[in-house]
Structure 1
């Protein structure tokens, strides 16, 4: 399976992940949402937004990002706000 076949991850984000050395779904799951997001933000796209963070988490959980729990969304929002 290609990363772009995971939920919430299209070809553009697959390319961003590849640029930071994440090329398989297993590598994404092993790295984790926050670490993958930080790599993208620091090395590829300094404007990476909260929606990408939600999308990565949804991909790892194999659910659409809109189905993330409110608790997990709050955790991710808190993580994202600390980056500014």
Structure 2
């Protein structure tokens, strides 16, 4: 078990949000996936944005979100846009 804030893109605030929605470890985050984790955060924080979604995916891949592949960024952007009300 490790602290989520040791992953790339995860600061103390995002770590607290993850913990608050039941995601306590990097294994929890990986098992759930970035989209589902983001949806859980979105339920408690309506300001959850595309950058936060990309940050979660980057953390799962253990890279800075800026370095995600264009395909991953496009996929996440499409998912994010599908969630707008």
TM-score scaled by length of structure 2 = 0.96
Give 1:29's aligned residue: 30
Deviation at 1:47, TM superposition (A): 1.2
What is the CA–CA distance in structure 1 between the aligned matches of 2:35 and 2:66, rounded to whole Å? 18
Give 2:48's aligned residue: 48
What is the CA–CA distance in structure 2 between the aligned matches of 1:83 and 1:66, rounded to whole Å? 22
Deviations 1:42-84 (CA, angstroms, capped at 9, x unpaired): 1x21110000000000000000101000000000000000111
What is the CA–CA distance in structure 2 between the aligned matches of 1:15 and 1:47, rounded to whole Å? 15
- Residue 16 of structure 1 pairs with residue 26 of structure 2: no
Q: Please provide the CA RMSD for this pair.
A: 0.5
TM-score scaled by length of structure 1 = 0.97
Spell out the pairing of 1:39-78 with structure 2 (5 A cutoff).
39-42=40-43, 44-78=44-78
